[in-house]
Homo-oligomer: A and B are copies of this chain.
Amino acid sequence: MKKNLSTILLIIFFVFSAIAHYAHLNPILQFIVSAIAVVLVAGFLGRATENVAHYAGQRLGGFLNATFGNAAELIIAIMLLREGLYDMVKASLTGSIIGNLLLVLGLSIFAGGVKFKVQNFNVSLAGMNGSLMIVAVIALFVPALFLNTHSITSTEVDTLSLIVAGLLILAYIAWLIFSMFTHKTYLADVTNEGDDEHESPEWSKGRSILYLIIATVMTAFVSEWLVGTLETFTEDFGFSELFVGAFVVAIIGNAAEHSAAIMLAMKNKIGASVEIAVGSSLQIALFVAPVLIFVSFFLGNTMDIVFTTLELVAIMVSVFIAKSIIQDGSTNWYEGTLLLVVYIILGVSFYLV
């Protein structure tokens, strides 16, 4: 019943945003309907990925989850790239990273912590996640520093960006091998109370694959429609490109992860919430961002890896507080509160710029 409703809503908003786009309706209206459509399509894509993952087995399933999980962000970002909106691409990547590390993780830990006094998860995974986050920060920070303190040519910046991007993609592939093959059990989730549910797939194998393809195509379309409205939208409301990219686009693009992570935390599966929130931000930093640099290179105009100071600092402080909170493999409601406080401080600061 509930699922039928969401399917109907999905179709309605998809069609409605298509009409709004092609009929050049009021831009605010276009923005609103396409934003809702993105959220719904992202949810559909998430469900399709989960179902395919179910049939593909744990290992390949995990990989599919990892690859399709950020499909919406990746497609939105490619649309922005083609429009030459490099600054908004970086702002939305920043927003995805901090949105996952602070908002998604913060709400999950808070919601789970209100229900359960202390929630535990694999402390080795927490440690590895922390180190990966530090590497991601270093990879973004070092090139920015070199550019700001030395007179290096833009060709050199592009070269450095491509090399660092290549290294990050290799590190990400090595991480998939490590976490899905060589050290799968080492990183396995600890058992909390109420963990014993086994969920069966919603759809048949063939239907799951079909839906995955449909969902990906739909995501591409609604993402393009949404991006088309952002410029007018920012002009009308007077928000900075940075704020729109880092908060508006990022929250919409991560809507599916948000709800899934919070639900899991409230079922005492905080390890899965952490994996979604932290894992998703790591994918953005180690895979999506580097891939976009290569995409821009092949489109003929390399996007460099140099983020603005504000973006870098936002990513850095998010990583520091998230690392500090997850590193003992145990969470409580107050730790969720701290993440949300930092998110609001960053949000207000970005809004005021």
Contact = CB atoms under 8 A, between A and B. Distances in A.
Contacts of A266: none
A310 B171 contact: no
Interface residues of A, number: 63
Contacts of A38: none
A128 B36 CA distance: 38
Nearest to A133: B324
Nearest to A350: B146
Contacts of A321: 131, 134-135, 138
Contact of A171 (B135, B138, B327, B341): B341
A348 B168 CA distance: 14
Interface in A322-353: 323-325, 327-328, 330, 332-335, 337-338, 341-342, 344-346, 348-349, 352-353
How many copies of the shown chain assemble into the complex? Answer: 3
B142 A349 contact: yes
Interface in A171-188: 171, 174-175, 178, 182-183, 186
A128 to B, nearest CB: 7
Interface stretch (A24-32, A158-166, A193-201, A220-228): A158-166
Contacts of A337: 171, 174
Nearest to A149: B309
Given A145-B309, A183-B332, A348-B160, A353 B150 contact: yes
A242 to B, nearest CB: 10
A254 to B, nearest CB: 21
A334 B186 contact: no
Contacts of A163: 348
A211 interface: no
Contacts of A349: 142-143, 146, 160
Interface in A105-156: 117-118, 123-124, 127-128, 130-132, 134-135, 138-139, 141-143, 145-146, 149-150, 152, 156
A18 interface: no
Nearest to A174: B337
Given A139-B345, A145-B310, 11 more contacts: A123-B328, A130-B324, A131-B325, A134-B324, A135-B321, A141-B313, A156-B352, A164-B348, A168-B341, A170-B341, A178-B333
Query: 3 closest Cβ contacts across the A-B interface?
Result: A178-B334, A131-B324, A138-B317
